Structure 1
């Protein structure tokens, strides 16, 4: 069942995406009564939240805030109300996946490589004829002369890079997604042109560029911890030289990058790392570790592979690479090295957080929405508290996007995107999976709505292809 979508006021926030306008236009008032409110500012028990026109009109203790006579009353006694979650690293290509995000409490996504279909979805969200999370859209992936992914922009020269930036701005991208094979000189030309046009850029760190150089060039976000381990190795110069010399024609060749990451992990120097992390803090470089995908890569071909149960309900185009990888049979030595690498990646995320590096939750998307709960659990495993992990999917994305006036917390005049839980996530982060309801612009999705959305989407993906 869709949230109410009657005509009403919905204030756009001025971004090209019209992010606030992407939610349903709700009419009338709804009062959420008796729940505990949890956001970046802390936890407050027995609260009432009054919503009008998709925004929070009033908020206060239930014994002091009386719902008006025209409000629909929703009793949330014993429940926990959080801001809607954001997945800040998503790839999704079938609109059947979109309700799954909402069913898992994910009310906003950052798509890391847009195609025309994603702009069409965004238009439909604004028009109110598509149910799904709010979307921030990257450019087409900008890569080197022989791109690794379809629909990418191939860049060889500095002029190519500048033209890719201009084209992306014309295409209404919210930011640029940079990839692994952009030539070094072209990358810095891209950075210069992006700054000139006021277009943020983030993504991978090209093989010929160090993560410190990318940070200094103004790359706003770094995904997958790319470049971090080489920069913190006692063999930093040698590893960077070998990375720059890699010949990559396809994804199989990218396995050599993984081998160099393992070599860097064996020579990780915490003292060097402190300086690298301090540079990220000074320059405002954010990181989206995508621990869920790093864990999957570490355990592929083993009994501990975390995606085995997910495969039937992953989009076919996203499922196939993991199915093929699942046929790998790593040696005992390879399994041990991959596990050591992942354990260090967890440690690095915790160390970066303690050093003050800004982190956001992102998944690379396996199960739409569901994988974000895996990511939150892994962030806690890395050393974040439950509250700190929740911030990476709520207040931190809002700050990163410059939208903390509208999103990321539960306060008056903010947009009413909420996740309602049956159990306290501050006691156990796994409780984010125990979902009672979701609200998008104040439109209520009940537990029954959520169950129907899950069943419909999962049945669809099971029918369009089973894992081999």
Structure 2
């Protein structure tokens, strides 16, 4: 065989291999889509009345006892002690409590299964914080009401500086590229731009200026390349992670003066803060429980690809650290307690706190995480009403697309959770909803249990790897 025939044969072989890989990818993704077909919206109930339910409106710390709620075409039409209407479906809410659906304002979504899992735990709004192309497709299907899912907002890929390496980040080489990327992500349909820990001031300045021109907001994982105070400026909407206040502002001390100055800045600028205490506390759980953590029931709800890669990396890091540093667990727990004190001080000062968990990262479990987060807020000293505000009212004040959520009032979206007990006295009752209503669509307890069961030990490792690879290549 001469050299030309050899090259030609090699070319055919390469084409054949690429064809086989392409077919395999299509089959894997189609199979994964079929496995989540239980989320497809089959029919719509447009008008109904929920009778005799106790309403937690979240407009104030009160209960509207034994009221009716009229819902029409996904909107709360009327609330009154007794609504009379003929030929309308009625749902008995006697002795139950109706609250606004919960928002988790810092998550990482890996698949459709998680959308159902969040709903099963009463979460009706998600703010995804690491955007990839598949999230834009997911968002489109949700907006078209093709699947049952929470309201879904997604960040862009994470923008960081040229020296901050990592496959999960988009390294921006200079200000010119930063300006280009803002326009690109805005046109692609991302809801906001995620800035990350390695952005230097010159690139960051350009990103902020261009975001203002493009009318798209920023959410910031604080950059270590600029002072923390730098983030208190438009168009930044929220600053993430209380742990970064401890690291960057306080330098791992108890500097009360610096903390107070930072809190004042939050109040003055009205920029929101997302504590994400849940994911940080997972470090303590890894150190304390070690391999027992891996066999816990909740671990089965974590996406299998991320569990094998990201979660395992965290596990290896902290279990190996404690081998040569016997005091690491004590330090991490002490910092967690410091986070609680900071959250309490921020709340008392009037900082706009947003419940966010970083679920989908480490061992923070989608859906379950929001209830851990709210528990930490009450442990910090917030009342149950104050804690609930962080997951209902407060998120509606941050993004324009959420302004019709967060309270139970006429004219608001019917995103609601029915609970067995009064969450103002027992916030943990929201962990197991009696019913969830998303954009007016009723999901009863049987459906919610199915959503949870389908997400448990799911077999979509390769489908996730494919979507992740797409995100890494096309960021």
Q: Is the shorter-chain TM-score for this pair beyond 0.5, marking a shared fold?
A: yes
Separation in 2 of the partners of 1:128 and 1:210?
43
1:313 equivalent among 301, 313, 320: 301
Give 5+ residue unaligned stretches, structure 2. 1-37, 464-475
Q: State the structure with more CA Rg.
A: 2
Name the counterpart of 2:348.
Answer: 354
Separation in 2 of the partners of 1:59 and 1:3?
30
The farther-off stretch of 77-86 and 223-232 is: 223-232
- The verdict on how the C-alpha distance between 1:145 and 1:451 changes in structure 2, with shifts beyond 3 A counting, is same
2:63 equivalent among 43, 50, 66: 43
Deviations 1:23-79 (A, max 9, x none): xxx444211111111132232111100111111111011xx322x112111101111
Report the count of equivalent residues: 412
3-state SS of paired residue (1:336): helix
Name the counterpart of 1:441.
Answer: 439
**Retained in 1: the 8 A contact 2:40–2:146?**
no
**Retained in 2: the 8 A contact 1:111–1:135?**
yes
Name the counterpart of 1:417.
Answer: 415
Q: How many Å apart are 1:230 and its aligned residue?
A: 4.4
Q: How many Å apart are 1:232 and its aligned residue?
A: 4.3
Name the counterpart of 2:406.
Answer: 408
Q: How many Å apart are 1:148 and its aligned residue?
A: 4.8
**Retained in 1: the 8 A contact 2:285–2:293?**
no
**Retained in 2: the 8 A contact 1:115–1:151?**
no
Separation in 1 of the partners of 2:93 and 2:202?
56
Q: How many Å apart are 1:149 and its aligned residue?
A: 4.8
Q: How many Å apart are 1:268 and its aligned residue?
A: 1.7
Name the counterpart of 1:261.
Answer: none
Separation in 2 of the partners of 1:463 and 1:77?
43
Separation in 2 of the partners of 1:193 and 1:47?
48
Q: How many Å apart are 1:460 and its aligned residue?
A: 1.7
Asked whether 1:73 is paired with 2:101, we answer no
**Retained in 2: the 8 A contact 1:3–1:443?**
no
**Retained in 1: the 8 A contact 2:419–2:433?**
yes
1:345 equivalent among 329, 339, 351: 339
Name the counterpart of 1:126.
Answer: 143
2:49 equivalent among 31, 39, 50: 31
Deviations 1:316-373 (A, max 9, x none): 2332322333341413311111111111111111111111111001111132212111
Name the counterpart of 1:183.
Answer: 200
**Retained in 1: the 8 A contact 2:100–2:417?**
yes
Name the counterpart of 1:277.
Answer: 263
3-state SS of paired residue (2:327): helix
Separation in 1 of the partners of 2:276 and 2:377?
9
Name the counterpart of 1:56.
Answer: 76
Asked whether 1:452 is paired with 2:450, we answer yes
Give the structure with the higher percent helix: 2
**Retained in 1: the 8 A contact 2:241–2:275?**
yes
Name the counterpart of 1:164.
Answer: 181
Name the counterpart of 2:12.
Answer: none
| TM-score, normalised via structure 1 length | 0.83
Q: How many Å apart are 1:450 and its aligned residue?
A: 1.0
Name the counterpart of 2:224.
Answer: 207
- The verdict on how the C-alpha distance between 1:132 and 1:149 changes in structure 2, with shifts beyond 3 A counting, is farther
3-state SS of paired residue (1:207): coil
- The verdict on how the C-alpha distance between 1:405 and 1:371 changes in structure 2, with shifts beyond 3 A counting, is closer
Separation in 1 of the partners of 2:418 and 2:439?
14
Separation in 1 of the partners of 2:290 and 2:396?
34
1:396 equivalent among 373, 394, 399: 394
Q: How many Å apart are 1:311 and its aligned residue?
A: 2.0
Q: How many Å apart are 1:433 and its aligned residue?
A: 1.0
**Retained in 1: the 8 A contact 2:121–2:432?**
no
- The verdict on how the C-alpha distance between 1:3 and 1:386 changes in structure 2, with shifts beyond 3 A counting, is farther
**Retained in 1: the 8 A contact 2:224–2:248?**
no
Separation in 2 of the partners of 1:391 and 1:178?
26
| TM-score, normalised via structure 2 length | 0.81
Name the counterpart of 2:313.
Answer: 324
**Retained in 2: the 8 A contact 1:376–1:390?**
yes
3-state SS of paired residue (1:346): helix
Give 5+ residue unaligned stretches, structure 1. 7-25, 234-263
The within-5 A match list for 1:256-295 is 264-265=251-252, 267-295=253-281
Separation in 2 of the partners of 1:203 and 1:100?
27
- The verdict on how the C-alpha distance between 1:176 and 1:111 changes in structure 2, with shifts beyond 3 A counting, is same
Separation in 1 of the partners of 2:160 and 2:398?
24
Separation in 2 of the partners of 1:458 and 1:349?
33
3-state SS of paired residue (1:180): coil
Root-mean-square deviation (CA), in Å? 2.3
Separation in 2 of the partners of 1:28 and 1:348?
44
